[in-house]
Structure 1
Amino acid sequence: MNPLLHNHSDDRARMERLQADVLVVGGGTAGITAAIAAAEEGVSVVLVERDSGLGGVGIRGGIHTYYLGSKGGIQDELDQEVLPYNTWMGSASKGFLPESKGLAITKRMVGLGVRVIYDAVVAEVLKDGNAVIGAIVESDKESLQIAAKVTIDATGDGDIAYLAGAAYTLGREWDGALHHYSLVPRLVDGNNQLRSKNFDVGWVDATDVADVSRAYRAGRRYAWRGDEDPLNTHYTAIGPQLGIREGRLIVGEHSLNQHDMLLDRRFDDVVMRCYAHHENHAFDYANESEWSQIWVAMLGMWRFGFGGDVPYGSFVPVGIDGLLIGSRALSQDHDNAMMMRMQRDLHKVGEVAGTAAALSVKSGVAPRAIEVKRLQQRMVERGVLSEDDLSRASAPWLIFKRETGADRQRVLQEGPQSSDLDDLIQRLGTGEDPVALWWLWTYGEISVPSLVEALKHTSGKQRRGVAFALGLLKHSASAPVLAETFRSRDRDRPNDLTRTEESWVSALILLKNMRDASVVKEVVELLHTERRSATLLFLLHYLIAVYDQLETEMHAGVIHAIHTLLSDRELGEDFFLHGSGPMIDVNEDTRSMRWGLELTAGYLLELMEGLGRLILDRHRNDRRAYVRNAADRLSARLAEAKGVTRS
């Protein structure tokens, strides 16, 4: 029979039908707490899981320790319920024993009457207008039609919201690349304790099935690194599930961002709080956002812990009713997604979504129309929020010694006075630069007059700090000092973290952001000798920012430098990944950054003389989906910037 002529309505008529108040799709970190919370709130729940077990990255992925995140709610109860199973299993573990937590979760599900459908995926989302009313679920044995009053997308990658037509973003703005992935092996250490080895393997497009399959193969191939082999490193298992850290981010009624978190911005519809740091595993920060480059590469704040309110609006997708986002696909920007992915926080995300779904069912209104104050009260009663979380004043995280967040909040509310600005300027060059610079940047244009005046009479590190502050505000008065800092190769930096760049690179970042072309000649010369991938990307992005200011006679020099760079057979092989360093083999499936360097260089060549199209087109046919995505995104940007016709 021609499948195009097949009557699918006949298939649906023969399908088994299930009905539930709440359908949870995805039984991972957030999905399990979503199902438990909804059932505890007194509604019927069906949970659909693609795997043969529940728990996601903590159980199936092998990450059986908590890193950061905030405690509270169901997770605290589960952590206690795991303990007896550890004794019964006869094993010790760093963190929780994955199998024990799996048993504790299963017991909860059974006791609450949650129906779990394993080894099944959603093939179609059922809708009535803009409202999700259920899903068609398929396994290798059968198809099910599940009707639900509320559906929770706990897939991690926002698959259900995507199928329902929700808007989303995918990856970072420059090239669409997503956070690195892991495939975690486990072993018993010398203390007879179960441990996991969490290290990054490479990049993957979590929404592309072929690329996910490629990542599984690469993860298993490189589970043993450096001098390790199966004879000297005995693994008990290599995680059956990829540790994917980022997928689609669904556009909701509110989108979380890092700046609001750092200011501890309060939301009237707060339903939980989170805590982590800007836990982006990248080392190619020139390809990350301007905010991320400043926060990590320039200010050196990668390890700084902070958190904040998560409002209910981030759970509610724009334009789609009957659906809640209950996973790391929560509405947020790419930078915020680097921190809002800790297991503890995702347990709370699921609990909020499950409780909200139950409240929607019992109130007879759409999830977006529930009484948020009732939800907040339930989150307090469930231990996810405290009463203080509903009323306390903001307390910004970045403060100096001997001051409080309340002190900083006062200045924000009243507006900085000249004495406040002078105090910050006096701290520049003293080792307190990162905090002082951030606040001068945050205060905005009101900082400029004081900084311009200070630039006239300061010297040394303080003068450089003043120029950096003006550079953050994109003020042209900073350019001469920034250019001087770049040319002198000033190697000073705030700390020794690997991702923190030296001052001359920070100066280049600021000149790039200002589109100031004063160091073009030096940058082109440096392209001939510099081979550190992270630095090369900063150089290339600078030239991209100022290409339209280049004099015609400069073009030949830039093109020659780029072709010399691309002819280096070892280009990009110095690059390394978080937790792996140089131990993991360097090739196109792991840590080589050649793809990123070639695409960025190709983009620049095409901007200047139309000579980069062959590079971009070659990568648009790459076997790796994330490389194809990057080439497509850069080609689209060129089409907009230069009127290039895409094929």
Structure 2
Amino acid sequence: MKTSKQDTVYDVIILGGGFEGLGAAFTLAEKGKKVLVAESRPSLGWEATWTYNLELQKGISKYADILADEISSSGGTKGNRIDPVLTELSLLKMAKNIEILHYCCPSGFEIENNKVKALIMAGKSGSFYLQAKSYIDATENRITTGFTGEKDSEQPSKHIYSFFMNAVENTENLPEKVNYGNGVLLIKNTPWKGEAAIEFETSRSMYQARLEIPEILKFIRAKVSGMEKAIMTHSANIGLPIYAKNTTNFQSKTENIFYPSRRNATSAQGREALLSERMKSGEEAAALLMKKLDTLSAPAKLDRACPPSVIPEDAEHTDIIVCGGGTAGAVAAIAAGKQGQKTKLIEASVCLGGIGTAGAIHVYYHGVTGGIQDEIDRRVSELDALYAPDKMKRGFHPEVKKTVLLEMALEAGVSIEFESMLTGTETDSVEQHLPAGKSERADRKIKSVITNNLSGVNRHTAEVFIDSTGDADLAALAGCRYSLGRDTDAVPHSYSQPSDSIIEDKSIKENNFDMGYCDPTDPWDMTRARIIGLRHYQNASFADEKRAFALAPLLGLRNSRLIYGKYRMTLADQIKASEFPDVIGYSYCHYDNHALDYENESDEAMIWVWCLGNWHARIGCEIPYRSLLPENIVNLLVACRAMSLEFDAHNQLRMQRDMQRIGEAAGIAAAISCRDKKYPTEIDVKKIQEKLFESGALKNKENNYHWDGWKPENLFALQMKNNLLASGENMTDIVKSAYDLKTLKNKLDSDKAEEKYNAALKLALANDEKARKVLLDCIKERCPIKTEGYKTAEMWKPAMMLAGMLKIKEAIPLLNEVINDETSDQAALIAAMKALARLGEKASAPLIEKMLKRDNLPSIQTFQRSSGHMPVVEENSLWKLELAAVECLSGLGVKRPDIIERYIDNESAVIRRSALRIKEKTGV
């Protein structure tokens, strides 16, 4: 995998972005050294920001003191107590001269002449090299000692776990500790009014400690005055490890890698100086390294771009492996386990549930109930009152759902590996069942998956695999064909960095706002997106009444790879409410595309939203089992948003209830596959349907599970005059079937511009000659009226797009005027250029080139804000205009490779990918 930093040689690479690693990084960066901090978790200072160990003592460490002052300036301190959100934002601000890499793990070294020549990193798209003169291993377990054969790490004996209560009465009078069972609960104030932290020791793993919270909540509500009506808002992502002793300095036999000493927590109490002392040990390690750094030479250039795969010989075998424990994957594992199959769940994050729990989107948006998800929702509702006595006013409690999903997975016998990243796979060929020439790719099966975690590299084998990574990581690593982003320019859905706040009625409210584009397959771009997302909070208000109390550890990634499967669902399927013989579920929503630039979307999307005003129209259809089956991997099911969908179709079928449904179906299918000793591609779909009927996920068995009960009354297909199932696949056929064309024709002579032009947009698609002429009037007048509906544009803009699509040559002079007009916005310019390219008007090419030379081109794009109080994000999008111009000019016979080259090395992987897409399409 090529990375954007592949050719960089650093002075120092620091593995581990905790306080020790940051102390070293700050010290080295201040001395002008080029430093990279590689931290697999998407957060700096994990001891405070993820475990919520929140005492920061001054007078011990230079940079801990700077950090304390920075947090204090934002109002996030009270004595030695610090706020975790402001701590993370402050650390990020302090790291402005340090490069950061999240979302990947170290997996090995290449050592030459007793020196590390290169570090091998593994991410979700494979392995890559990093190089430096020297390395500091500041990971908690000194992971690289395993690479050098000098394994030196101590396992923690216990963990300290924390959770927070808000709307607590009389926090100043709370006891500091309360006896509980054989131990104590520590109760600590925070910088915020009405908030208290509860801390306890546990012998459970750092990921399962949350299972103790319900009993502790019952206890403190009964025994601690002021806690009766408080709301439990958030808990630590992981527990803080407790060790028997501190970690001492370790001298490696390898010349250019250093292992500093470290202060550890040895009990729940007496941790006031832990963060500062860890920062200090990093500073001291950097000072020692500085004495040797000038004597170390830069490593020789590598003779190959990609490292060899690191694949352990040993492997643990199981029946079913589910990669990804998010919205779909958690349910898939539970469903498989309930069927009695030995199931392993591999999750890159720290909890189950994905975007609904770790992504701060703890509310269902449309979708159909039924099946295992009903049991999940019932158990969440039953436990909800314990966490939030006044009940959640919106959605479900994310902490409750984390606990319920973990309980249900363990009850089903599922083995779970948290913080394990899928980084590779082994595949093998299988006997072909199709006649020669019927398949472009030979069938293969997955033998094993390779994962990286805090302990190193691991190999796992199974009979059946389920890809619930959200990004089709396993499918892609196994060689499945996929698309990424919209067909026009490879741009994916926008992403968000959500957070949680408390609203006045003592309920948790998500802040969900888009902030640009991110390539979910690239760890460098994921890191860039995370940092940009967090920086938007640095200017936010942190007053008591609306502060963000938790930053979601997961980015809101709405779209990534989309596989090519046995059937690829379309937007037309959803508009027509298509039915399938292999139905495994029902789904409805609307065309929930957050894009605001429909001039860059597909023709179908532009027509659906701009011409027809149907962004909010309810659409949906049955979900076919074939859409979970990749083209050529016989023992893999893809159960996540990366299932076999066209880009336009994913906007409707990506909601949490949809994902929970396909997760259950995939888990059941995998179990049947194991029992019947057949590949998922070979099993009888009726067996899956029968199990789904038993769970309540499918209805109406007597009609082959085709059931109208899932359809809302306002479903588009139910409101139209004809049965849309009989219409064709393209938007023209749908318009002809859906709308009363006779009535629309009568409106073409209306005196009301809105009525006349609205009718023309529809009728032109039905090849009405008069409507084509009316479209010209609409463009000429630049009608400022928008089609009724959300996210529509002034009618003259879709009229331009249609003029190009329908080859209305009379529009050419009008389109040229738009190009020449310096008041034209970006949408108008791109719409006009695309129309001219479709019309093949080569005489317009000089006008487009002249336009590109202007220094006042419209370049600011705004993004959608879905909920919360954060400001709307704006971003420079000149690249969209210029790359669209390259494509249009190419169609008119003019090549502009200089513009492509301008973006081919952009820091944004999405912009790079878009430039490459345009280059491929045009041959520039």
What is the identity, as a one-letter code, of the residue corresponding to 2:851? A
**How far did residue 289 of structure 1 move?**
0.7
Contact 1:85 1:103 in 2 (8 A): no
- Whole-angstrom distance in 2 between the partners of 1:10 and 1:206: 23
Deviation per CA, 1:581-635, whole angstroms, max 9, x where unpaired?
997476xxx5332221122123334554646321211111111000001111111
Q: Choose the corresponding residue for 1:441, options 727, 730, 736.
A: 736
**How far did residue 153 of structure 1 move?**
0.3
- Whole-angstrom distance in 1 between the partners of 2:458 and 2:715: 60
- Whole-angstrom distance in 2 between the partners of 1:632 and 1:347: 35
Report the TM-score, using the length of structure 2 for normalisation: 0.60
- Matched residue, 1:272: 585
**How far did residue 212 of structure 1 move?**
0.5
- Matched residue, 1:42: 340
Higher relative contact order (CA 8 A, sep 6+): 1
The answer on 1:335 being equivalent to 2:648 is yes
Contact 2:502 2:545 in 1 (8 A): no
- Matched residue, 1:490: 783
**How far did residue 216 of structure 1 move?**
0.3
Q: Choose the corresponding residue for 1:282, options 582, 595, 601.
A: 595
> Aligned pair in 2 of structure 1 residues 101, 483: CA closer, same or farther (>3 Å)?
same
> Aligned pair in 2 of structure 1 residues 212, 474: CA closer, same or farther (>3 Å)?
farther
Contact 1:152 1:324 in 2 (8 A): yes
What is the identity, as a one-letter code, of the residue corresponding to 1:26? G
- Whole-angstrom distance in 2 between the partners of 1:186 and 1:39: 32
Contact 2:510 2:867 in 1 (8 A): no
SS of equivalent to 1:591: strand
The answer on 1:619 being equivalent to 2:908 is no
Which of the pair has more CA radius of gyration?
2
- Matched residue, 2:862: 575
- Whole-angstrom distance in 1 between the partners of 2:715 and 2:427: 55
SS of equivalent to 2:312: helix
SS of equivalent to 2:521: coil
SS of equivalent to 1:506: helix
Contact 1:575 1:593 in 2 (8 A): no
> Aligned pair in 2 of structure 1 residues 208, 463: CA closer, same or farther (>3 Å)?
same
Deviation per CA, 1:238-281, whole angstroms, max 9, x where unpaired?
11110100010011100111211221221111010111100000
- Matched residue, 2:816: 524
Contact 1:166 1:318 in 2 (8 A): yes
What is the identity, as a one-letter code, of the residue corresponding to 1:48? I
Structure 2 unaligned spans of 5+? 1-110, 113-117, 119-302, 430-443
Contact 1:604 1:612 in 2 (8 A): no
> Aligned pair in 2 of structure 1 residues 549, 319: CA closer, same or farther (>3 Å)?
same
SS of equivalent to 1:541: helix
- Whole-angstrom distance in 1 between the partners of 2:494 and 2:769: 37
Return the structure number with greater helix share: 1
> Aligned pair in 2 of structure 1 residues 123, 465: CA closer, same or farther (>3 Å)?
closer
- Matched residue, 2:558: 245
Range moving further from structure 2, 240-249 or 534-543: 534-543
SS of equivalent to 2:450: strand
Matched ranges for 1:536-547 at <5 A: 536-546=829-839
- Matched residue, 1:419: none
Contact 2:833 2:848 in 1 (8 A): no
Q: Choose the corresponding residue for 1:123, options 389, 398, 423.
A: 423
- Matched residue, 2:850: 560
Deviation per CA, 1:34-69, whole angstroms, max 9, x where unpaired?
000001111110000111222111111111111111
- Whole-angstrom distance in 2 between the partners of 1:10 and 1:466: 62
- Matched residue, 2:663: 350
Contact 1:264 1:394 in 2 (8 A): no
Deviation per CA, 1:555-580, whole angstroms, max 9, x where unpaired?
4333323322xx116x2225343438
The answer on 1:480 being equivalent to 2:773 is yes
What is the identity, as a one-letter code, of the residue corresponding to 1:472? L
**How far did residue 327 of structure 1 move?**
0.6
**How far did residue 545 of structure 1 move?**
2.1
**How far did residue 112 of structure 1 move?**
1.6
- Whole-angstrom distance in 1 between the partners of 2:619 and 2:654: 14
What is the identity, as a one-letter code, of the residue corresponding to 1:254? Y
What is the identity, as a one-letter code, of the residue corresponding to 1:575? T
SS of equivalent to 1:623: coil
Deviation per CA, 1:398-440, whole angstroms, max 9, x where unpaired?
999999569732x865x99xxxxxxxxxxxxxxxxxxx99854
Contact 1:396 1:406 in 2 (8 A): no
CA RMSD of aligned residues (A): 3.5
> Aligned pair in 2 of structure 1 residues 403, 504: CA closer, same or farther (>3 Å)?
closer
Range moving further from structure 2, 464-473 or 352-361: 464-473
Q: Choose the corresponding residue for 1:174, options 488, 507, 528.
A: 488
What number of residue pairs does the alignment pair up? Answer: 602
The answer on 1:25 being equivalent to 2:323 is yes
- Whole-angstrom distance in 2 between the partners of 1:563 and 1:7: 44
What is the identity, as a one-letter code, of the residue corresponding to 1:480? K
- Whole-angstrom distance in 1 between the partners of 2:628 and 2:467: 10
Contact 1:36 1:109 in 2 (8 A): yes
Contact 1:185 1:235 in 2 (8 A): yes
- Whole-angstrom distance in 1 between the partners of 2:829 and 2:899: 17
- Matched residue, 1:109: 409
> Aligned pair in 2 of structure 1 residues 8, 258: CA closer, same or farther (>3 Å)?
closer
**How far did residue 326 of structure 1 move?**
0.9
- Whole-angstrom distance in 1 between the partners of 2:868 and 2:459: 48
Range moving further from structure 2, 235-244 or 388-397: 388-397
**How far did residue 86 of structure 1 move?**
2.9
Q: Choose the corresponding residue for 1:193, options 507, 510, 519.
A: 507
Deviation per CA, 1:153-188, whole angstroms, max 9, x where unpaired?
000000000011111111101110000111111111
Contact 1:122 1:135 in 2 (8 A): yes
Return the structure number with greater strand share: 2
Structure 1 unaligned spans of 5+? 417-435
**How far did residue 363 of structure 1 move?**
0.9
Report the TM-score, using the length of structure 1 for normalisation: 0.85
Contact 2:863 2:872 in 1 (8 A): no
> Aligned pair in 2 of structure 1 residues 392, 103: CA closer, same or farther (>3 Å)?
closer
SS of equivalent to 1:367: coil
Q: Percent identity?
A: 29
Q: Choose the corresponding residue for 2:497, options 172, 179, 183.
A: 183
**How far did residue 125 of structure 1 move?**
1.4
Range moving further from structure 2, 310-319 or 188-197: 188-197
> Aligned pair in 2 of structure 1 residues 614, 451: CA closer, same or farther (>3 Å)?
farther
Q: Choose the corresponding residue for 1:296, options 606, 609, 623.
A: 609
